[in-house]
Amino acid sequence: MKYSLALLSLAAAAVNAHFSLTYPTSRGDSDETQAESPCGGLNTPSSERSLWGITGGTLKFEAGHDEAKTAVYLAIGNDPSANDFNITLENVFMQIGLGTFCWNTLSIPDGTPGVADGVNATIQVVQAGHTGGGLYNCADITFTKDPVMLTQDCVNGTGVSAEAIASSSTASASTTTGTSTSTSTSTSSTSSSPNAAQSSSAAAAKLAAGGSVLFAGLLAALAL
C-alpha cells in the first residue's frame, strides 16, 4: 500500500512539473505528450489564433519547475512542421522559481522574412525536462500592425526570475518583480527577466528525436 502511494506521489509530481503557456493562448496542455516535439503532441493548429504585433508581443507561461533551461522560437505559416521553428525569439536562459513568467514585449528579430500584417505563425516555448528530454508548448498567432491591449498586467510571480546561461555575452534585461517592472542593462550572468528587445541568433542544434530547433547549450543541459 505504501509502495502504491509512493508511486502515485511521484506521478503527481511529474505532472505538476510541466509548464503551461498562458499567453498567447496555447494549443492546450497534455501532460502525457508534452515531451513530443514540436508542440507537446498537439499537432493541429488552433482555429482561434491570438493577435500578436508585427514587431513582437507579450508572452507568458506558468513554470512548473523551480528551475529549467528555456528558449522561445517562431515558425511562419499556417501549419509549421518541427523543422520550421528556425527563428529565435529568446536564446536559452535559466528560468528560476515557480509561478508566472512574463515578457511585456518579446521582440521579433529585425528583418525576419515573412512577418507582415495578417500572416499566421506559431510560437514554440521549449524547456529542458529534468528526465533528460524537452518539454514543448505552442501558441498559434496572427500578426497585426495594430496595438494589442491585454486585460492583465504582465508581471512575474514572486520569486520568479531568469539567469543568463552565457556570462560572456551582454544582455539587456527587463527587471520584473511581483509588483513592478523596470528596465536595466546587465553584463553579468544573472538577470531577473530576459528582455524582449534582445537580438537572438539562429538556433545551432536540433533534437535528434523530434527535429525541433534547440540550442547546443540546451542540448548539453539535457544530459545533466
Q: Give 143-172 as a DSSP string.
A: EESS----SS---PPTT-EEEES-TTS-EE
| pTM (two decimals) | 0.70
Amino acid at 11: A
Mean pLDDT computed over 124-136: 84
Percent of the chain residues past pLDDT 70, beyond the cut: 64
Q: Which CATH number applies to 19-222?
A: 2.60.40.10
Q: In terms of pLDDT, which residue wins out, 156 or 172?
A: 156
Confidence of residue 129 (pLDDT cuts 50, 70, 90): low
Confidence of residue 39 (pLDDT cuts 50, 70, 90): very high
Which stretch of 88-102, 108-122, 165-179 has the lowest confidence by average pLDDT? 165-179
pLDDT for 157 beyond 70: yes
Q: In sequence order, what are the beta bridge partners of 71?
A: 126
What is the model's pLDDT at position 152? 80
Q: In terms of pLDDT, which residue wins out, 208 or 156?
A: 156
- Give the mean pLDDT of the chain: 73
Mean pLDDT computed over 59-79: 95
DSSP annotation string for 1-44: -HHHHHHHHHHHHHHHTS-EEEETTBS---TTTTTSTTTTT--S
pLDDT for 143 beyond 50: yes
What is the model's pLDDT at position 17? 53
